[in-house]
Amino acid sequence: MATRSSAPLHPCSPAPLLMSAAIEFENVSKRFILHHARPRSFQELVIGALWRSRSREELWALNGVSFEVEQGEMLGVIGPNGSGKSTILKLISRILEPTSGSITVDGKVSALIELGAGFHPDLTGRENVYLNGSILGLSQEEMDVRFKEIVTFAELGRFIDMPLKIYSSGMYMRLGFAIAINVEPDILLIDEVLAVGDESFQKKCLAKIEEFKQQGKTMVFVSHALETVRKLCDKAIWLEEGEIQSMGNPGKVIYDYLDDLRRKEGVTLDEKHRHLRYELEEQRLENRWGSGEVERLPTHVLMGENDAHCLDSGWHEVEDWPPKVRWTKKRASLLLMPDGSASRLSMIAWCPELALNPQSGRVYVDGRVVGKFDLTDANPRTFSFWLPQPDKSQPIKVTIEVKRTVIPAEAGLSEDRRELGVAVQEIWTD
């Protein structure tokens, strides 16, 4: 029998102080009776009753799925189309009821499943904001507080008092997104919303997701963008035909998934996924999965100007390599000089025999991406970011990961191979 226990006062109960599971699936199964096999009218019902030939086609979208998402954790769900990913989100948000098993959800859920569900084209932006807020279970006063923030985030300006039917699809989406993230959910469900919208909007979404992570919100992220799942998620599930194939460290789960895909007949991984798989395999060979609490990035540091082949790995302290780093109490700026003689980054870029293109890469602070850079524009870039939880006893690791984007054939490296130049510095806050 399907049971659904939830914390009392389901959508609005405050998150408990203790670390506990925000979402818990226990042996959850979901059966759909396929619509074409179901009588949709009295006529079909009568015919069905007379002939009894009507086949009840069943589809088990989920089959005995169990997992837990801790408070503040971000879970990535990957798998092919029709594997049951979206069904999980719909079960969490209570749109669907499980056929069997139990689901516990603790906290207010907001879903970025379809932005602007419930928008009415004839109502103005303002009216839609309030209507949508109440659909998500917020009161008028609660929406009053958030209204300004929503309008600012959606960049609507004076359009807010015009009917939605004159909005561009971008405005429509921005408004939907702004509402969904400003209802201050405890649990945020994200379903491929990042796949839509222009690049700047996607960036904004990612930045907001980062912010939610910092705030310790629980998130479930369903995506085909494996690279994003690896970067963002603390944990991942690979679903196939409604069953969990692999669960745990995102890198490992994605590797398992890609490896399985590769083995399948008639499937060729595209360039992007081949690279990702290769990268992950390297990690796997170096046995770097661990418990997932500490993540080590592949760290190949190129040493010295003329010693380009000397690769080192592991956390590396480089004394003569401080890119100009300034620290204030809570905020750090990091200046990268593409042509600065003291910068190791520039030295990597200067190695002629590897013919490395000007570098692009990412900057991590404690394993979290704080920025991307591309030095092709030959301009110094400054990254500013907030330091996570300043703690005198803990070093903060700033990692700069540099990707070589073009590998010439004459370098004698196989085309599939890609190296990462990573410089690491440990900095203690004062």
What Cα–Cα distance (Å) separates residue 217 from each residue in 114, 187, 209, 403?
A: 20, 6, 9, 31
By CB atoms closer than 10 A (0-12, 13-18, 19+), residue 409 is: exposed
Asked if residue 138 binds other proteins (CB under 8 A), the reply is: yes
**Residue 227 neighbours by CB under 8 Å, 6+ apart:** 272, 276
Lay out the site mask for other proteins across 59-98 (x = CB under 8 A, - = otherwise). -------------------------------x--xxxxx-
Among 19, 135, 145, 294, binds other proteins (CB under 8 A): 135
Q: For other proteins, which is the closer residue by CB, 72 or 176?
A: 176
List the beta bridge partners of residue 183: none
Q: For other proteins, which is the closer residue by CB, 148 or 165?
A: 165
Q: For other proteins, which is the closer residue by CB, 11 or 79?
A: 11
Lay out the site mask for other proteins across 8-27 (x = CB under 8 A, - = otherwise). -xxxx---------------
Q: Which tokens in the block code for residue 171?
A: 């405005």
Asked if residue 413 binds other proteins (CB under 8 A), the reply is: no
Q: Report whether 59 contacts 31 (CB < 8 A).
A: yes
**Binding segment for other proteins among 108-116, 229-237, 279-287, 352-360 (CB under 8 A)?**
108-116
In a 3-state reduction of DSSP, which class is residue 86?
helix
**Binding segment for other proteins among 48-56, 114-122, 217-225, 228-236 (CB under 8 A)?**
114-122
DSSP H stretches of helix in 66-217? 85-92, 125-135, 140-154, 169-182, 199-214
Asked if residue 152 binds other proteins (CB under 8 A), the reply is: no
Strand 21-33 with 58-70, pairing: antiparallel
Q: For other proteins, which is the closer residue by CB, 89 or 422?
A: 89
Distance CA 279, CA 297 (A): 10
Least distance between other proteins and beta carbon 78 (Å): 22
Closest CA to 22 of 91, 65, 71: 71
Residue-wise burial string across 139-172, b where 16 or more C-beta atoms lie within 10 A, e elsewhere: eeebbeebbeebbebbebeebbeeebeebeeebb
Asked if residue 147 binds other proteins (CB under 8 A), the reply is: no
Distance CA 212, CA 180 (A): 12
Closest CA to 100 of 158, 140, 60: 60
Q: For other proteins, which is the closer residue by CB, 135 or 342?
A: 135
Q: Report whether 358 contacts 309 (CB < 8 A).
A: no
Least distance between other proteins and beta carbon 285 (Å): 43
Among 127, 192, 227, 282, binds other proteins (CB under 8 A): 127
Asked if residue 162 binds other proteins (CB under 8 A), the reply is: no
Among 42, 158, 392, 430, binds other proteins (CB under 8 A): 42
Question: Which residue do the tokens 């907030």 mark?
Answer: 386
**Binding segment for other proteins among 67-75, 117-125, 209-217, 329-337 (CB under 8 A)?**
117-125
- The radius of gyration computed from the CA coordinates of the chain, to the nearest angstrom, equals 25
Distance CA 361, CA 372 (A): 6
**Binding segment for other proteins among 109-117, 146-154, 247-255, 366-374 (CB under 8 A)?**
109-117
Asked if residue 137 binds other proteins (CB under 8 A), the reply is: yes
Among 1, 18, 122, 158, binds other proteins (CB under 8 A): 122
* Site for other proteins, rule CB under 8 A: 9-12, 32, 39-43, 45, 90, 93-97, 109, 111, 113-114, 117-118, 120, 122-123, 127, 130-131, 134-140
